């Protein structure tokens, strides 16, 4: 179920390297990775789960409403994260010249299905 949705997002986004469904505790529920050398997507997701908790806390302090989406671009990688309620998130990693807009669109489109399946 989850795997199929994750694969659909990865296959539908040019430049995508993988997608992972994860809890804020850093424990993965499901994932779909393409084979890519030198990039440990599980480790990336675990590390970013800590950053997300920090951003969520910041958004709460600032009173700007719940965090919905975070994206980080580094020299070699782009990561888009979409929150799925208060316990889970989905992260999509792609090459830095991957199709950001398409990846983001697919995360928005699939989020309700994932939330429903998680409930």
**Contacting residues toward a second copy, per CB under 8 A:** 39-40, 43-44, 47-48, 50-51, 54-55, 58-59, 61-62, 64-77, 101
Question: What is the distance between the alpha carbons of residues 43 and 12, in angstroms, rounded to a whole number?
Answer: 23
Q: How far is the CB of 39 from a second copy (least distance, A)?
A: 7
Cβ distance to a second copy smaller for residue 2 or 82: 82
Three-class secondary structure assignment of 29-57: EEEEECCCCCCCHHHHHHHHHHHHHHHHH
Alpha carbon 20 to its chain's center: 6
Q: Which is nearer to a second copy, 10 or 67 (CB)?
A: 67
Min separation Cβ 104 and a second copy, Å: 9
Nearer to a second copy, 2 or 67 (CB): 67
- Separation of alpha carbons 89 and 70, rounded Å: 10
Residues 6+ apart with CB under 8 A from 35: none
**Which is closer to a second copy, CB of 77 or CB of 118?**
77
């Amino acid at each position: 179920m989850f795997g199929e949705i994750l694969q659909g997002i990865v296959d539908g986004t040019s430049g995508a390297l993988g997608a992972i469904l994860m809890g804020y505790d850093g424990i993965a529920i499901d994932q779909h990775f393409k084979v890519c050398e030198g990039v440990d997507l599980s480790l990336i997701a675990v590390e970013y789960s800590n950053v997300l908790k920090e951003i969520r806390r910041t958004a709460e302090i600032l009173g700007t409403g719940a965090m919905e989406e975070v994206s980080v671009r580094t020299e070699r990688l782009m990561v888009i994260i979409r929150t799925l309620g208060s316990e889970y998130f989905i992260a999509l990693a792609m090459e830095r010249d991957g199709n950001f807009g398409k990846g983001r669109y697919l995360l928005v489109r699939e989020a309700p299905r994932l939330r429903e399946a998680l409930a």
